[in-house]
Amino acid sequence: MKKYINFFIRFTVTALLVLYLFKKIEITQFLNVFVLINPFVFLFASLLYILSSYISTLRWKIFLQEKDLKISTLFSLYLIGSFFNNILPGIIGGDVVKILMIKEKTGIKKAIASVFMERYTGLFALLLISLIFFILFYNKIPKQIFLWIVPVSFFGFFVGTVCLMLISKIKFFQEFKDYIFSYTKKQILKGFFYSLIVQFIVIISVYVIFYGFKISISFFELCVFLPIIILISMLPISVSGIGVREWCFILFFGKSFGEPQVVAVSLLWFLSQAFASTVGGIEYLRFKKPLNVKKK
C-alpha cells in the first residue's frame, strides 16, 4: 500500500508540474517547434541510448563477476530494467527488477552490490565530468546562482560516500561493504572508464537533439549543466523525472534558447529513451521469470 501511495503522490506532482509548465509556455509554440524535428535525429538518439545501455551492461558484468551470465543475457536484463524505468515507472524500479531476476543465480547481496557499484561509478563519472568542465570553462558559462549546484553536488557525493561507510557497521551493511571492498582497483577503474563513455554518449545524444531542432549550443556548456539536470531528475519527485527535467531545462537553457525550444528538446530526449526501452519490453516477455539457475 505504501508503494501505491508513493506512486500516487509522484504521479500527482508530475501532473501538476506538467500542467503548470504548459500554462507558462505557449503550447502552440511548443508544438510548432516539436514537429520540426528530423525523425532520423530521433532514431539516432534512440540508437545512442541502446549503445549506452550495452556499454553499461559491460560495466555491470565487471562488478557482477559471474561467469555463467553471458553479456547477451545481462544486456537483455539491462534493457528490461530500462523498460520498467521509462515505460512502466512508479511501483518498481528497473534496478530492483534486475536484482530480482539474477538473485537466484548470484545471491541477493552480490546482486545488490553489483548494481550499486554500477550506478555508483556512473554517478561519480557524471559529477566529475560536470565539475571538470565547470572549472575549465567557468569564465565562458552564463553566470547564475544555480551554477554552484555543480561543485556542491560533487562535494555532497563524497559526504554521502563517507556516511555510507559509517552506517556499514550494521550487520547487513557490513556484509554489503565486504562485497564492495572485494572489487579490485582494476575492476573499479575499468568500470569507471566505461561510465565515462556512457555519460559522454548521453551528453552527445542530447547535443544531437539540440542540433535536430537547429539550436546551436556549446558542447562544454551541455557537459556542465546536463549532469546536474540528470541528477535532479533522478530524485523521487515525479514519475520518470517528467516535469522536473523540463523545468530544469528551462532553468539552465531557457533564457539562451527559448522555453518552448528547450522543453521540446527535453521531451524528445525522454521519448527517444522510452522508444529505445520498448526493446526491453520484448525481452521481458522472453524472460518473464528470474534466472532460476542454482548458484555454484
Would residue 230 count as lying in a domain? yes
Mean pLDDT lowest for which of 25-39, 48-62, 104-118, 222-236? 25-39
Weakest-pLDDT range from 22-26, 98-102, 232-236: 22-26
pLDDT band at 171 (very low <50, low <70, confident <90, very high): low
Q: Could you tell me which residues come within 8 angstroms of residue 22 by beta carbon, excluding any fewer than 6 positions away? A: 30
**Grid cell listed for 133:** 568542465
Contacts for 252 with CB less than 8 Å, ≥ 6 apart: 144, 146, 225, 228, 229
Has residue 28 been placed in a domain?
no
Q: Are 244 and 235 in contact (CB under 8 A)?
A: yes
Q: How many residues does the chain have?
A: 296
Closest by CA to 152, choosing from 121, 138, 170, 131, is 131
Specify the pLDDT at position 27: 72
Q: 49 lies in a domain? A: yes
Share of the chain above pLDDT 90, in %: 26
| Domain membership flag for residue 32 | no
Select the more confidently predicted residue: 295 or 280. 280
Residue 68 has a pLDDT of 78
Q: Is residue 224 part of a domain?
A: yes
pLDDT on residue 293:
43
Query: Within the chain, where are the H helices?
Result: 2-24, 27-34, 39-64, 71-86, 94-106, 108-136, 149-167, 171-181, 185-212, 219-233, 244-257, 259-287
Question: Is residue 27 assigned to a domain?
Answer: no
Whether residue 98 is predicted with pLDDT greater than 80 in this model: the reply is yes
Tell me what the mean pLDDT of segment 247-270 comes to.
Answer: 88
Q: What would the pLDDT profile of 63-81 be if each residue is shown by its tens digit?
A: 987 777 889 889 999 999 9
Any domain includes 292:
no
Please determine, for residue 167, whether its predicted confidence score (pLDDT) is greater than 70.
no
Nearest alpha-carbon partner for 236 in 81, 36, 59, 9: 9
CA distance linking residue 106 with residue 103, whole number of Å: 5
Residue 26 resides in a domain:
no
Estimate the crossing angle of helix 71-86 against helix 94-106, to 10 degrees: 150
C-alpha triplet 230, 137, 152: angle, nearest 5°:
45
Count of structural domains within the chain? 1
Please give the angle made by the CA atoms of 270, 49 and 239, to the nearest 5 degrees. Answer: 30
Instruction: Please tell me the distance from the alpha carbon of residue 225 to that of residue 146, in angstroms, as a whole number.
Output: 10
- Structure confidence at residue 172 as a pLDDT band (50, 70, 90): low
pLDDT level of residue 296 (50, 70, 90 thresholds): very low
Are 10 and 235 spatial neighbours (Cβ–Cβ below 8 Å)? no
Residue 201 near residue 122 (C-beta atoms within 8 A): no
- 89: containing domain: 2-21+43-287
